[in-house]
Structure 1
Amino acid sequence: MSYEVVLQNKYYLRELIEGISLKDSLEQISYQGSVQLKVPPSFPGIEPGQEIRISGVPYGGGSGMVPLLNPGVVWECETQVKESKHMTVTVYDRTIYLAKSEDECLFPTGGTASQRLRKYATDWSIKLTSLPDTKTKLKKAVYRAQTLYNMIMADLKETVKAGGEMYVPRMTPAGLTLFQIGSNKKVWVLEQLEETTQNRTLEGTVTRVKVIGTEDQQENAPSKVLATASGQTAKYGVLQKIVQDENVKTASAAKKFAQSMLTGQGLTYTVTCADLNTVRAGDKVNLNGLNLIVTSVSHELGDPGHMTLELASSDDVKRRYFLDN
């Protein structure tokens, strides 16, 4: 087998593996793994909280193994005894602690999403690797009791709404970082397709945006319009959205905000094909000449393996994951 599972940096479980799957999505922070094992009587046992990693030979990358899910933590163990003993182990990377932990945070005006992520990770003892500069200065934030992941995504959504780039948190063997969506250097061309479904829709499309002020208006008086922006009205008709934000007070800021809310036609694909075991949610891939973004991926590791991908255009990713409230 081209895959290895190592428990506590000590026990190599390759001979016990019956199956491995990996799941990633833009809707979750943590990479999730499921390992099916046949457990002999001499096995020392697996407990939630233990360190674990999943490695494999990358597709097209030679014979050496690379980490696929590392650092990981055993989250759940389910045992079934029927003639012999079998175990299903659910594994997450260590960002699971940001998804499952709640806190309250107060941030002054002017910090960036990168700077705030550094604080979250430090407070939860999660190792960081080099962080890109998200650049966009954020407004003051008062986060009452909620998960750290919700706070991180609020920061990243605000960055996009202010005209910045799209980022998602991603755990790597070197530590936690922010990955700019679609910035992967190797763009895989999807081949050996087993099934493809395409969906095109105007649901959620916005071709004109009007930004209105938040100050109190006199009764029966219209709201003050700070800015408007138009997109593909000639092609799709007028699909207008009215937005307001208490921190958008100037005409220039409102114009930038309005432009960020314009979206085109929704375009999504579901693809089942031969497995490319290093593909993650947020990666750019090429399907029939189109560059699309992976919104979710499910790997069934094996020789050969299979994967199921949910794909969307960059505009649709922005609308669905960063601009919608």
Structure 2
Amino acid sequence: MITLGPVSAEFPETRLTVSELTELAELPEHRRVHALGLGITTVHGAAEDADHELAAAAAEKALARAGLAAEELDAMLLVGGRAPRYLMSSEATRLQHRLGAERAFVAGVSELGCASISAAFTLAAGLLRGDSRCGTVLVVAAASAPTRLRYRAPMTVLGDGAAAVLLSTAETGRYQLVDHMVRSDGKYADLFRIDYRDVPQRDWREECADEATYSFRLAVESRKRLATMNAELLERNGLGQSDVGPMLMQNLSVGAFSFWEEALETTIDRVCHANLAEFGHLGSMDVLVNLEAAARHRAPGDHVLLLNSSPVAAWSSTLLRRLPDRRTEGIEL
């Protein structure tokens, strides 16, 4: 058995009200209306280059809640941000040194956008199943806006923070990782991008190369992909959609939740709506924050279906089973 948890999250102290973001004044009227209609009330804002401190704090909390010393950790996977502080440096080994996890196998996981954490789950499960000497893998993800502009048109508003989760062969986590699937499609590899070469950082902007492709073509393909993946995952585990209750997924907008509820004929857990309003979009962190919040009202034995996607494009579907609580520690949202 592979278990997932505990989860720990760390947020910067600064909280920003979306309606008061100064960048809104730079937007055309239709963009401003869209940004204010996403269902996001506030986001946390970190100081420049704060990713490392946030990631370290989240990792230390997760290890403490698991009762595990950093030097006992067998592996650590860092889900990299979209704008590393330096080219050619290693954020993953920097975090390893900071934590004191000197004996751990360490690697960075990126390139799949928000779904990079789903790839990290795949790699962590492979390590735990394939190496009898590996019993613990810490997955850490940090999120920060890569430009000074938090509104990512035509999608969401970005918040900052970091989260960490322990995957283990010990039966001490919040959830059992029952089954997992990740798929990708390179046709959309640079649909969203930042042109940074020879551009001052203040002028960096996230751009959607083709909004029609994002809003229609990718939306249709994502619906087909996730519907197929969910059906396969449930069928091979002898379950139906009614056995998993409200689904969990990443937080982009209330419109996105409505789209997925109609497209997949399901409901999205209310914790996703609450976290969207409070934190905005947290990249790979979203699914971790939502999983921990949902654990509070899922009974032991309940199955949970967790969806994730990114516009690069990549999709994941993860089947989990809620385990009895063995510790009382929880993430303080």
TM-score for both structures, normalised by structure 2: 0.27
CA radius of gyration, larger in: 1
TM-score for both structures, normalised by structure 1: 0.27
In terms of fraction of residues, the more helix-rich structure is: 2
Higher relative contact order, chain-length normalized (CA < 8 Å, sep 6+): 2
In terms of fraction of residues, the more strand-rich structure is: 1
